[in-house]
Amino acid sequence: MRYLTVGFLLIFCLSCTAVRVNYDYDKKTDFTNYTTYNYYPQMDTGLSQLDAKRLLKAVDSTMQMKGILFSEEPDFFINIQSRAFRTPQNSSVGVGVGGTGRNVGGGVSIGLPVGRPNMELEIVFDLVDSQKDELFWQAVSESAFRENASPSVKEQNLRNLVAKVFAKYPPKTK
């Protein structure tokens, strides 16, 4: 039982820190006017074809749950762009040599990086009014990315990412 509790706690902690999202939107926008969507026709997500297909499937599912329908003549377009990048290494080991004595001193120090740099994936979701051609909502997500993950792991990660990105859409008005 103790191992099960520790396992759930570990999974919970890892899942909470996996995706970071920053939101921005136009405060003057009436989000109740946006009930249909589509994607930009020439959208280049920056992902592989398989990952792009997984991502769009997750977005479609999320939009459907929010009551927003896919349409050929939409109220807004979704544009998705991504980029993968390596984060700098945070950990290193310091090795030093030095000596002192009778007015003589010196030293040498070297920092050796430990481990590999982490891969991060940044995905930007832009929602653009189809009539005005104006951006009215944007979410920028960052998450850890494993190039060699299995297809099922990639699909689950993208589903989690989309759920977190659209969790605050539409924004709550005060």
What pLDDT does residue 142 have? 93
Q: Could you tell me where the DSSP H helices lie in the chain?
A: 2-17, 49-65, 151-165
Q: How many CB atoms lie within 10 A of CB 109?
A: 9
Tens of pLDDT, residues 77-113: 999 999 987 766 555 555 555 566 666 555 555 665 5
State yes or no: pLDDT of 14 exceeds 60. no
- pTM, 2 dp: 0.73
* Domains in the chain: ranges and CATH: 34-87+115-166 (3.40.50.10610)
Q: Residue 164 and residue 22: Cα distance in Å, rounded? A: 11
Instruction: Indicate if the alpha-carbon torsion angle 60, 66, 71, 77 is positive or negative.
Output: negative
- Size of the chain, expressed as the number of residues it contains: 174
Q: How many CB atoms lie within 10 A of CB 83?
A: 11
